[in-house]
Amino acid sequence: MASSKKKISYFYDPEVGNFYYGQGHPMKPHRMRMTHNLLLHYGLYKEMEVLPELANAEDMTQFHSDEYIEFLRMITPDNQHEHMRQLKRFNVAEDCPVFDGLFNFTQIYTGGSIGGAVRLNHKLADTVINWAGGLHHAKKAEASGFCYVNDIVLAILELLKVHSRVLYIDIDIHHGDGVEEAFYTTDRVMTASFHKFGEYFPGTGHLQDVGQHQGKYYSVNVPLKDGIDDETYDHLFKPIMEKIMEVFAPDAIVFQSGADSLSGDRLGCFNLSIRGHAECLKYMSTFNVPLLVLGGGGYTIRNVARCWTYETGCLLGRELEDVLPANDYSEYFGPTNTLHITPSNMENQNTREYIDGIRDRILENLSKLPARPGAPFYQVPPDLVSAQTQDMNIEPDLSEGEDRGGIYLDYGKNEDDFRVTKNVSEPVGTNPQGKEDAEKDMNENKEKSQELPDKDDI
């Protein structure tokens, strides 16, 4: 991998590990602190620029509705009982609970993603990592699947200010529904999601969902079954991505590296090793296109920290010793105390015929695309976060193109092409399997205190 000379920025806010979704909730921001600590002890931290960044409400309303963001700002565990109607309306309950510091948490993870996009826009970095980001389920005015603000959509919108085409890749085990929906009708963003499909949250991501209007064939869905292993995943991922890079030729890539597709995930049912998972990211980094790498799901948190540490090393071109260095969370990594994990002997339900059929169908769809759609710019909009701290090598022009009431993208060759829409919305499964699993796990998991690591996470 020719990545060792690339300039890498890494967003990390030490506060992020303090947020707590609640007793028994599988999403644990503590995993970001474990990841950070592990890569610190591998010596990776000093090879990257480390930046914190907070998004503000105005940044978030580039995609989300004003009412929804205002609600996230004001809601607290103490006042939530006075806002039952809004809690229901915005789906803030159960999977997406109100917790202390909720809005601040969204500011941190979103700030890293938008800030990362700004750095790529200004060519201050070739690759940006924000493991706290990647919350792909959030909708315009609705929380979903542990996600409140969709940092990915906001980062892509920021990238589109100076990049004509952005490719979004999602290897989380769950379908990247919030991102797909936001860009379902545009040819400037291609989304490619590899996910478990069938009786599984969020229920979307069918092979035949390919995008609409201008965006037809710019949404790629790869529905998979339980137990997929490294070899089978690789057999799909590389040919599809090679074809996408050929026909779409993106000038920026956003990679959601959800770690719930690893073997042994608390909510997942795939069987990837960390090397198999990382191979996807390594492959995409070989194209030398500006790359924003985000986290996402991942609920066996010792393996999340292992995976994202290893992937940080891959991006830096560093080989990491399999024996873990001493770190603050060593008790999580026993008894093996190794970086890598061994996949299980679970059955791989993805037969060769099934995988070949999917791959052929997707390659056929992609072959229908016109080569490299053009997208001339009439003006470059101003940055969102951190505009004041960047070297401005792009002059914003504010003379025209103020808000026309659309959600986004009023600066391009044709506003209809670029407008982010929410008009394609499949019904989401009412009680998907993933949620049932989560609830089952929650019941089995009696946690005592937010200060202590969960027993089943060690």
Which residue from 53, 170, 187, 260 is in contact with Zn ion, where contact means CB under 5 A? 260
Which of 258, 276, 412, 453 is in the footprint of Zn ion by CB under 5 A?
258
Whose CB is nearest to Zn ion?
A: 297
Count of residues touching Zn ion (by CB under 5 A): 5
Per the annotation, does 457 bind a ligand? no
Report, in Å, the least distance between residue 321 CB and Zn ion: 29
For residues 158 and 260, which CB has a smaller minimum distance to Zn ion in the complex? 260
User: Min. distance of Cβ 172 from Zn ion in angstroms?
Assistant: 4
By CB under 5 A, the residues from 282 to 301 that bind Zn ion are: 297
Supply the minimum distance, in Å, between the C-beta of residue 306 and Zn ion.
17
Q: Could you give the strand order of the β-sheet that contains 49-51, starting from the edge strand earlier in sequence?
A: 49-51, 8-11, 127-130, 291-294, 252-256, 166-170, 189-196, 219-224
Asked whether residue 174 is marked as a ligand-binding residue, the answer is yes
Shortest separation between residue 307's beta carbon and Zn ion, angstroms: 13
Among the listed ranges 30-38, 109-117, 259-267, 396-404, the one in contact with Zn ion (CB under 5 A) is 259-267
Q: Which of these segments, 17-25, 208-216, 256-264, 449-457, binds Zn ion (CB under 5 A)?
A: 256-264
Stretch that binds Zn ion, among 118-126, 152-160, 166-174, 309-317 (CB under 5 A): 166-174
299 is in an annotated binding site: yes
**265 counts as binding Zn ion under rule CB under 5 A:** no
* Residues annotated as catalytic (active site), given as ranges: 137
Whole-number minimum distance, CB 12 to Zn ion, in Å?
21
- For Zn ion, which is the closer residue by CB, 338 or 433? 433
Residue 258 or 381 having the CB closest to Zn ion: 258
Q: State yes or no: 340 annotated in a binding site.
A: no
CA–CA gap between residue 413 and residue 425 (Å, rounded): 26
Q: How far is the CB of 26 from Zn ion (least distance, A)?
A: 10
| 145 marked ligand binding residue | yes
CB nearer Zn ion, residue 181 or residue 260? 260
Task: Find out whether 30 is annotated in a ligand binding site.
Answer: no
- For Zn ion, the closer of residues 258 and 412 by Cβ is 258
Q: Which is nearer to Zn ion, 132 or 289 (CB)?
A: 132
Nearer to Zn ion, 178 or 250 (CB): 178
Least distance (Å) from Zn ion to the CB of residue 297? Answer: 3
386: left (phi over 0), alpha (psi -120 to 50) or beta: left
Binding mask 168-197 for Zn ion (x = CB under 5 A): ----x-x-----------------------
Closest by Cα among 216, 172, 217, 177 to 361: 217
User: Could you give the string, one character per residue 119-158, with x where binding to Zn ion holds by CB under 5 A and - elsewhere?
Assistant: ----------------------------------------
Rounded CA-CA distance 35/332 in Å is: 12
* Residues of each annotated binding site for a divalent metal cation: 172, 174, 260
* Residues of each annotated binding site for substrate: 95, 145, 299
Binding site for Zn ion (CB under 5 A): 172, 174, 258, 260, 297
* Residues of each annotated binding site: 95, 145, 172, 174, 260, 299
